[in-house]
Amino acid sequence: MSKEVKSVDYGLEKIFEGAQDFLPLLGTDYVELYVGNAKQAAHYYKTAFGFESFAYKGLETGSRDVVSYVVKQDKIRLVLTTPLNSQSPINDHLRKHGDGVKVIALWVDDATQAWKETTSRGAKSFMEPTVEKDENGEIIRSGIYTYGETVHIFVERKNYNGVFMPGFVKWESEYNPDTLGLKYIDHMVGNVGWGEMNQWVKWYEDVMGFENFLSFDDKQIHTEYSALMSKVMSNGNGRIKFPINEPAEGIKKSQIEEYLDFYEGPGCQHIAVATDDIISTVKGMRARGVEFLTTPPDTYYLAAPERLAAHDHELKEDLETLKSLGIMIDADDEGYLLQIFTRPVEDRPTLFFEIIQRMGAKGFGAGNFKALFESIEREQALRGTL
């Protein structure tokens, strides 16, 4: 396979040519966050993001050490986990990183094979293939470490009919706010340390069979003050996309450095979730208290129609409505996309969410990077971390 980096190449057919098929991935299975108070976090994701109660394990189900609430919206499942005593190693993770993503779980047909293929290619094991059973069948999980203390768990669930996994029961709640149209995870971004991006690009190529199908250097992603570099890794069928960011030298501290300082190491920077109707999704989220980055200036919206026209696309949504909600617009040859970023969802300036609606475009909003970073820098200045 070609190792040549295809800079700003949006052709998905390239993925099928280059990526290896020793690790077939069916999709994202779940994302597990270690949090300080899972009960309250679950309430936040239900209320503010429109997730629904889905599954639970805790003292009542015989889990003495950890409690997990699973919330779901269409294909997205978040597992929110908190230790129940001081002995749990989860406390170490929380002490160091604060709330954040521990597990990016991937749905596979054969978790044993996935573990063998990846560990034989150099992955560090997190969990050997393990069978978990209950009256609804069995699940096999295995896991490997990726950047920082983040892990990928492979989930094989073809012989399981229960609600989520053995150990969990259906979570019935009397509080069921309306969902907000979030459908699936579009991509998840990792921040790695200085000079580490290429080593993780190679790791995803060698260990997971992914291909680097899009790259941005610090000449493309910079503001007056700071810069970063980013490479997008994708698996063979394009369902799993992991951009990897590394800080670059600038006059002031970049948002990636700020993240690394507060997360105290590499980790998941943002989870991008897709919607078919970003206007109603963002209206709902704003009404329910989700905080978004500040809206780009008027000049950004004045220039938007021209940027779309340069790629022969016409905006279907009302520009004034997008502007009033702070939604950004980017275009490439195949279409355009609409996106907006939340503020960090915990007190440390670390993990945040992106809401994205793709109207044909396969990129990640490169045309918005400058406006976005200037917005983040305004907030960094307020935090005294620029």
> Binding-site residue total for Fe ion (CB under 5 A)?
2
Tell me how far, at minimum, the Cβ of 358 lies from Fe ion, in Å: 12
Work out the number of other CB atoms within 10 angstroms of the CB of residue 303: 14
Question: Exactly one of 272, 308, 337, 351 binds Fe ion (CB under 5 A); which one?
Answer: 272
Which residues have CB under 8 Å from 210's CB, separation 6+?
19, 204, 233, 234, 235, 240, 242
Q: Is 186 in the site for Fe ion (CB under 5 A)?
A: no
Q: Which helix (H) or strand (E) holds 300?
A: helix 298-309
Question: Exactly one of 29, 156, 332, 354 binds Fe ion (CB under 5 A); which one?
Answer: 354
Stretch that binds Fe ion, among 66-74, 117-125, 265-273, 327-335 (CB under 5 A): 265-273
Tell me how far, at minimum, the Cβ of 239 lies from Fe ion, in Å: 16
Tell me how far, at minimum, the Cβ of 166 lies from Fe ion, in Å: 33
**Which of 123/185 has CB closer to Fe ion?**
185
Asked whether 19 and 211 are in contact (CB, 8 A), the reply is: yes
**Which of 165/361 has CB closer to Fe ion?**
361
Q: What tokens appear for 292 in the block?
A: 């978004």
**Which of 164/213 has CB closer to Fe ion?**
213
Stretch that binds Fe ion, among 113-121, 123-131, 152-160, 266-274 (CB under 5 A): 266-274
Q: What tokens appear for 341 in the block?
A: 């970023």
The beta-strand segments (E) located in the chain are 27-34, 52-57, 66-73, 76-83, 100-108, 125-134, 137-145, 151-156, 169-170, 182-191, 211-216, 227-234, 241-248, 267-275, 328-332, 335-341, 352-359
Stretch that binds Fe ion, among 9-17, 48-56, 115-123, 349-357 (CB under 5 A): 349-357
Q: Is 140 in the site for Fe ion (CB under 5 A)?
A: no
| Dist CA 200 CA 36 (whole Å) | 29
Q: How far is CA 55 from the centre of its chain?
A: 21
Stretch that binds Fe ion, among 81-89, 118-126, 167-175, 268-276 (CB under 5 A): 268-276
Per CB under 5 A, residues contacting Fe ion are 272, 354
